[in-house]
Amino acid sequence: MKKFISSASVILCLCLMLTLCSCQLSSNFNLGYDNSESSDLPEASSSEYAPAKTDFNYLSLSGKGPQIIYDKISEVIDSDSPQVIYFSEHHSAAEYSEAIEAYKNDHPESFWLLSEFEYSFDESDPFLGIKFCASGEELKKMKSDFEEKVNEIVSKAPENASPYEYEIYINNYLIDNCEYDEEAAESENVLRNESDAYGALVEGSAVCEGYSRAFGLLCNRLNIECVSVTGYSDEELHQWNCVRLDGEWYNVDVTWNDSDEPVEVSRYDYFNISDSDFGTDHKAHPTYGEITESEYESSNHDYNIFVPDCNGTKYNYFLKSCPELSDLDDTESISQYIADEAKKGEDIATVRVNSSLDLDDTYEKLKNGELYEILQRTNEINGGEHKVSELTYLHNRKRNSTICIELYYQ
């Protein structure tokens, strides 16, 4: 997610080249946008609901200049080759960068649009040269492959699901089908398509920006409002998402959910997290409207255009989907939950430990015999079918006050 600067000459004008490299589909490639305000969408239960609002960044641009640039980009974005856009007025590098990033965030389906650009700082001949990852027949083929893959993913989403269930489907799809590109993450340059949705969905390899843009695209296609946010995580440049469910915003970091642990017990650690919890290891960059031109020129990273306040808790995965253990003498609901998970063939069952119990003490008691009785009851509930082994492994997840139970079947 670093920005690299070098000089270049374009159309006989002195210009500056900026590259913003970070750590985008509709079935009909609708690349336009709606710049009108919209109210909160209802909690959808199927794809028949109104499309998700996708112009959060456009409506949050810092001024008229970036809006003009954004509009011009929308007119040429569906070309099959890079474009030079001329303007009647001079714009700054920060304005060009803001408009391009806003467009990429609102339209993650436009995977071919790069953050790198050229511009003239000669006020008598202002222009912007936008860059694509490919051109001509190669780009046409990439667009076709991309559209086919996105349609396939969307078509396999669970029928008549809620937005929350669709979101889980998208999170798990990316975790199961995309691999974090370590080589690209360690490079200062974009190597392939690791920073866009094409890399994540078609090639199955991406860095954080590719995960984020793919997640945002699939959310929008399934009528979930979603935006991308850049910042730091553990002092490293990073990108993640914010989603809106029932009018409230949540943080989601699919990259961090995609753990390289041997047993995937963390795929929901950063799923629908409030700012108060997310902020312990994530910090968003300021917005373009909060910085000066000199601050932009001296920085080595992107800035944000729109960052919502994420205060929702209802759809936090552990609060929404995991049963709470509050009394070791009353575990019937836990046994029923594990029985239901076993029927689905799940590998992990996660239990949330009530704050009235000591997490470490509860973990030890489960490990030393209490879980055996719970699993016995689980098998009684399922009547001998989907029988789970009473010998298993437990994982103490202090971050979320949860205990994960590995499920093995007999």
Which H/E stretch holds residue 163? helix 163-177
The pLDDT of residue 34: 38
The pLDDT of residue 50: 63
287 DSSP β-pair partners: 304
The pLDDT of residue 37: 36
Give the span between the Cα atoms of 287 and 66, in whole angstroms. 13
Instruction: State how beta strands 236-245 and 248-252 pair.
Output: antiparallel
Alpha-helical segments (H) within 205-358: 208-221, 254-257, 275-278, 293-298, 317-321, 332-343
Q: What is the pLDDT of residues 114-153, one digit of tens each?
A: 999 999 877 788 999 999 999 999 999 999 999 999 999 9
Following CA atoms 366, 370, 373, 377 in sequence, which dihedral angle do they give, to the nearest 10 degrees?
-60
The pLDDT of residue 266: 83
Kindly calculate the radius of gyration of the chain based on its CA atoms and give it in whole angstroms. 24
Give the tokens for residue 100: 């391009």
The pLDDT of residue 9: 30
Given a contact cutoff of 8 angstroms between Cβ atoms, the answer to whether 167 and 246 are in contact is: no
Q: What is the pLDDT of residues 12-46, one digit of tens each?
A: 333 444 444 335 333 333 333 333 333 333 333 33
The pLDDT of residue 43: 39
pTM of full prediction above 0.85 = yes
Give the tokens for residue 139: 């780009």
Exposed/middle/buried for residue 183 (C-beta within 10 Å: 0-12, 13-18, 19+): exposed
**Contacts for 148 with CB less than 8 Å, ≥ 6 apart:** none
The pLDDT of residue 45: 36
Alpha-helical segments (H) within 15-82: 56-59, 64-76
Give the span between the Cα atoms of 229 and 241, in whole angstroms. 6
What does each of the 410 residues of the chain score in pLDDT, given as a tens digit? 423 222 233 333 334 444 443 353 333 333 333 333 333 333 333 344 568 999 999 999 999 999 999 999 999 999 999 999 999 999 999 999 999 999 999 999 999 999 999 998 777 889 999 999 999 999 999 999 999 999 999 999 999 999 999 999 999 999 999 999 989 888 877 778 999 999 999 999 999 999 999 999 999 999 999 999 999 998 899 999 999 999 999 999 999 999 877 667 789 999 999 999 999 999 999 999 999 999 999 998 889 999 999 999 999 999 999 999 999 999 999 999 999 999 999 999 999 999 999 999 999 999 999 999 999 999 999 998 999 998 899 999 998 999 999 999 99
Distances (CA, A) of 81 to 29, 71, 147, 184, 233: 16, 18, 18, 25, 35
Closest CA to 104 of 52, 66, 153, 139: 66
Give the span between the Cα atoms of 399 and 257, in whole angstroms. 13
Given a contact cutoff of 8 angstroms between Cβ atoms, the answer to whether 228 and 239 are in contact is: yes
Please give the backbone phi and psi of residue 179, each rounded to the nearest 5 degrees, phi first.
Answer: -110, 135
